[in-house]
Amino acid sequence: MRTVVITGLGVVTPLGCRVDTVWERIRAGQSGIGPITGYDASQMPCRIAGEVAELDLDAFLSSKEQRRLEPFMHFGVVAARMAVEDAGIEIDRLDARRAGVVVGSGIGGITTLERQHIILRERGPDRNSPFMIPQMIINMAAGVIAIEHGFRGPNYAAVSACSTAAHCIGNAMRHIQHGEADMMLAGGAEAAVTALSMSGFSAMKALSTRNDEPGRASRPFDADRDGFVMGEGAGIVMLEELEHARRRGASIYCELAGYGLSCDAHHITAPVEGGEGAADAMLLAIADAGHDADQIEYINAHGTSTMLNDSCETAAIKRAFGDDRARGLLVSSTKSMTGHLLGAAAGLETVICALVLRDGVVPPTMNYETPDPNCDLDYVPNEAREAKVNACLNNALGFGGHNTSLLLRKLV
């Protein structure tokens, strides 16, 4: 197997749209969650979300491109461009057939779906946009990114709800390991803070209704958690074969060394009690990397702030590492600050893990105030912590029972 490293990072988030800005705010425990501004949410049970507020689209896309692309594609295109620039890629010097894109979304073009359905109902079928289908389909973010950069290698979107970006990154790693590509842009993009999407999640009783305290609403592992907070944005990394990166003098953040995936085969939305599936994914990632479980120091948890997820993920960590070792791990959920970016979540959180390894700072789980007896690990509560981290896991667990775990480590 060839060694895969991360050489570029790109983010669009509720906390900002530059990697250094987002990382600084996460380390400071700032929240990107507030009242919804994109539509009238006054009659909704949940009226808060993590919206992207600092993105100047005009700096990245022409007005025509903005009209022709869907919001989730806007986020993906911008984050991918940032990752390419961060990696120092000179496009005209690449073998385009050896560069690919795997970027997915959990929901895709739901803004277009809502708008075009209204047009159909109110104005008739001859008034629907010819761009409707390309704007809706999830694979189009990967396609548009490839068109912009001329990448002609593997190109598609994996779709697995909240595990989407982790599957995309893990699959992209495999393409490089197996010699099918030398570099891959990988991650996820999501723009699901819409009336239809939010009403659907509200009907499931999945969202927090702590509307009067938006910054305190996402509270993973806390006993008073009452649901997740929706976020939007994108997280994309540039993966590269080690020697390919070295030959062009690239700066390397870390190695992406392991990829574990499993299924609960239990329920369409609820994780299996005891966390067996998520534990399998973590152990498979560790084994895939040829690593020792005792060498893992940090886990960026899926940590959604829902009652079932957080207790089951805690149980999964204990199952994978044993109770004593689990209690010695640092575990945190950055969704407490960004909200849950659904299909883009693991993309952003992979970026965060790379920065943890680089800087030796573990981000906090904010709003952890009341201990839950079913969630009794070290969640790095409310304040970032300096810690030497050589290896970490990034967990992503999706509706449908999808479990993924990525192992990142310092390059030796």
Interatomic CA distance for residues 245 and 34, integer angstroms: 40
Amino acid, single-letter form, for residue 138: I
Q: Write out the two tokens for 39.
A: 């539509």
Residue of 53, 10, 47 lying closest to 31 (CA atoms): 53
- Identify whether 266 is a catalytic site residue: no
Q: Write out the two tokens for 342.
A: 């659904």
Q: Which residues contact 412 (CB under 8 A, 6 or more apart)?
A: none
Interatomic CA distance for residues 300 and 209, integer angstroms: 25
Distances (CA, A) of 314 to 5, 100, 116, 279, 310: 29, 35, 42, 10, 6
Q: Is 196 exposed, middle or buried (0-12, 13-18, 19+ CB in 10 A)?
A: middle
- Identify whether 178 is a catalytic site residue: no
Residue 404 and residue 396 in contact, taking contact as beta carbons nearer than 8 Å: yes
Catalytic residue among 254, 302, 353, 392: 302
Interatomic CA distance for residues 67 and 107, integer angstroms: 19
Residue identified by tokens 């080690």 is 242
Instruction: Give the sign of the dihedral formed by CA 67, CA 70, CA 72, CA 78.
Output: negative
Residue identified by tokens 């870390």 is 254
Amino acid, single-letter form, for residue 36: I
Residue identified by tokens 């702030």 is 305
Distances (CA, A) of 107 to 42, 74, 77, 200, 339: 23, 15, 17, 12, 16
Catalytic residue among 17, 46, 162, 375: 162
Q: Which residues contact 210 (CB under 8 A, 6 or more apart)?
A: 48, 216, 217, 226
- Identify whether 340 is a catalytic site residue: yes
Interatomic CA distance for residues 176 and 153, integer angstroms: 11
What is the phi/psi pair of residue 187, to 5°? 155, -145
Catalytic residue among 254, 340, 353, 392: 340
Residue 221 and residue 303 in contact, taking contact as beta carbons nearer than 8 Å: yes
Q: Which residues are catalytic?
A: 162, 302, 340
